[in-house]
Amino acid sequence: MLEKKDMDRLNELAKKKKATGLTEGEAVEQQQLRKAYLETFRAGMKETLEATRVIDPNGVDVTPEKIKAIQAKKIVQ
CATH code (residue 48): 1.10.287.540
| Alpha carbons 62 and 76: distance in angstroms, whole number | 22
Looking at residue 2, its pLDDT comes to: 85
Q: How confident is the model at residue 13 (pLDDT cuts 50, 70, 90)?
A: very high
For 47-76, the pLDDT digits (tens) are: 999 999 999 999 999 999 999 999 998 887
| Alpha carbons 29 and 18: distance in angstroms, whole number | 16
Looking at residue 17, its pLDDT comes to: 96
Q: What is the pTM of this model?
A: 0.77
**What mean pLDDT comes out for the span 12-40?**
97
Domains contained in the chain, number:
1
What is the extent of the structural domain holding 12?
4-76
- Is the pLDDT at 25 greater than 80? The verdict is yes
